[in-house]
Structure 1
Amino acid sequence: MTTVLLVFMVISSITLIGSVLLQEGSSAGMGSAISGGAEGLFGKKKAHGMQGLLNKITLVSAVVFFISIFVFNLLAK
């Protein structure tokens, strides 16, 4: 069981690193980063195309990574 969790952790961490590195950077400054975060939170700004796909991949791989770490920690005790 722990081997399966370790495989999930490695795959999800590599996917997470790759998806974050492939996303476009925000070069507009701190002011637009705060307002852009608020727009993204309330759904006014939806990413389309490749950026939307990368956002979903990042979210799924982060969730899989944290759940696998949590379960691995429970099994290790």
Structure 2
Amino acid sequence: MLTTVLMVMQVLVSIFLIVIVLLQKGKSAGISGVIAGGAETFFGKHKAKTLEGTLERLTVIGATLFIVLSIILTILMAR
């Protein structure tokens, strides 16, 4: 029963991660982005308040949850 619930959570977290990653913009701006001040957006003061900052934070949370669930499921399946 617990394994089934955790597997369903794993699938939901996987779908969540796929959607969040697809919503993010690409990081490659080419050579013009490097020369034209691409570092300004990286070191911006209010990055966490932007949509990109929020998506990055959600990606980290989702990936961490995915890894933790994977470890727990691996331990439960080994028994």
TM-score, length basis structure 1: 0.74
Greater mean deviation of Cα atoms: 19-28 or 45-54:
45-54
RMSD: 2.4
Q: Structure 2 unaligned runs (5+)?
A: none
Q: 2:19 matched to which residue of 1?
A: 18
**Displacement after TM superposition at 1:47 (Å):** 4.4
**Displacement after TM superposition at 1:27 (Å):** 2.8
Alignment of 1:1-77 (within 5 A): 1-29=2-30, 32=34, 44-45=43-44, 46-77=47-78
- Supply the AA of the counterpart residue of 1:27: S
Partners of 1:21 and 1:50 in 2: CA distance: 13
> 8 Å contact 1:12–1:61 — kept in the other structure?
yes
Greater C-alpha radius of gyration = 2
**Displacement after TM superposition at 1:26 (Å):** 1.9
Identity of aligned residues (%): 39
Deviations 1:11-69 (A, max 9, x none): 11011111111001123238x5xxx6xxx6xxx45443111110111111111111101
Partners of 1:28 and 1:20 in 2: CA distance: 17
> 8 Å contact 1:5–1:68 — kept in the other structure?
yes
Partners of 2:57 and 2:75 in 1: CA distance: 27
4+ runs of 1 displaced by more than 6 Å? none
**Displacement after TM superposition at 1:72 (Å):** 0.3
Q: Structure 1 unaligned runs (5+)?
A: none
